[in-house]
Amino acid sequence: MQSRFISISEYPKGTPSRDIFQLQEQDLPDLGEGEVRVRNTWLSVDPYMRGRMSGQRTYIDPFELNAPMEGAAVGEVIESRSERLKEGDKVSHMGGWRDIAQLPDKAVQPLPNLDLPDQAYLGVLGMPGMTAWAGLNRVAELQQGDNVLVSAASGAVGSLAVQLAKAKGGTVVGIAGAKEKLEWLESMGIKAVSYRDKEAQQLTADLKDACPEGFDVYYENVGGVCLEAALNCLRRDARIAVCGMIAHYNETQPAPGPSNLAALIMHRARMQGFIVADHWQHYAQFLDEVGPRVAKGEIEHEETVVEGLEKTPDAFLQLFEGANRGKMVVKL
C-alpha cells in the first residue's frame, strides 16, 4: 500500500519558504504484529513544529530531512494486527503530515466517546487545549478571581485559555491583532486589546486601561512587545506561564528581550516555561473537566480548515501570518 507524505528538503533559516516542502510517496511495508494502518482524516499544524525544523535537538528531535514529518492527526483504522484496535476505530496519533499512517498500536489512542467532531481532538480537546489547561492550572496555578492576560488570545491555545480563565471570575484580557479576532474575544466577554503597530509603552497603557488592577496571571504565547507590556502590568506574586514565543520562531538574528525584567523583582513574580508533554499524565483529568463543557457548547472552539494533504505546508506557514482563528487543521 502507498502512503503520500510531506517532507522538508532542508532546515530553513528564518521564515520557511514554501518550496522546501515536498509531497512524496512511499510503499508501506507489510503490517507487523501489533501494528495498525490508519487513514488520516484530519491533520494538525502547530507553531511548535517550527522548532523541529531547526535541525537541532531542542526538547524534541528535529524532523528528518526527506522523511515523513510528524504531527498530531486523527483518522480511522483500516487494517489492524493489534488486539486493542479494530478496523473502523477512530483514533488519534502523531503520524500526521501523511494520508496513511502505519504505527505500533501503543502509539495510537482511541478517540474518547463524546459527541464532538473528530478534529476537536486536534484542538480544544487535543494538544492545544491541554496546553491551555496545563499552563493555566499546573504552571500558573490559576486561582478563583485571578485577573488573567493571554497573548495570541484567539489562537488554538489562547482561545481556550481565555475561556478557562474567564470561568474563574476575574477580569480576562486577550491580546490579538485582526479586527475580527478582537470582535470574537469581545463577544466572549473577554476584554480585547490589539498589539498592532504598538510599541511596548502604548500597549502597556492599553492593558492598564483594560485592567487597571493589573494581572495575577499572564499566559504567554508571543514574546516581544507583548511580554514587555505584560511585565509592566503585573500584580504582586504574579505568575507568567511561558507556553511559546511565536514572535521569535522565525528570527534569523536574536532579537533583544524585554528591558524590564526587573519587574519580576518588584512584583515578586514568577516566569516559568513549560512543555505540555511533561503534563500529559493529567490528560484524563483535563478531558474530564473540559470535555463535557465543550460537548455542551459552554466552551466555544473555532477552527480554520484547509483542505488537502498537499496544502498542509500552506496551512502551517499561515500560522505565522496570524491567518487562523482557533485551531488550524487540514482536512483530508
- Residues near a second copy (CB under 8 A) are 58-59, 223, 227, 242-245, 248, 254-275, 278
How far apart are CB 231 and a second copy at their closest, in Å?
9
User: At what angle are helices 283-295 and 127-134 packed, to 10 degrees?
Assistant: 110
Phi/psi of residue 219, nearest 5 degrees: -100, 110
CB of 253 to a second copy, least distance (A): 8
Residue with cell string 503597530: 197
Instruction: Kindly tell me which of 207 and 243 has the beta carbon lying closer to a second copy.
Output: 243
CA-closest candidate to residue 71, choices 15, 32, 113, 128: 128
- Provide the 3-class DSSP secondary structure of residue 148: strand
105 backbone dihedrals φ, ψ, rounded to 5°:
-65, -25
- In the complex, the smallest distance separating the C-beta of residue 242 from a second copy, rounded to whole angstroms, is 5
* Complex with a second copy: residue 74 or 247, whichever CB lies closer: 247
DSSP code for 52: G
Residue with smaller CB distance to a second copy, 11 or 274: 274
Shortest distance in whole angstroms from residue 293 CB to a second copy: 28
> How many CA within 13 A on the CB side of residue 278?
10
> Minimum CB separation from a second copy for residue 79, in Å?
38
**125/231 with CB nearer a second copy:** 231
Scanning the structure block, which residue is given the C-alpha cell 508501506? Answer: 28
Q: Which is nearer to a second copy, 9 or 143 (CB)?
A: 143
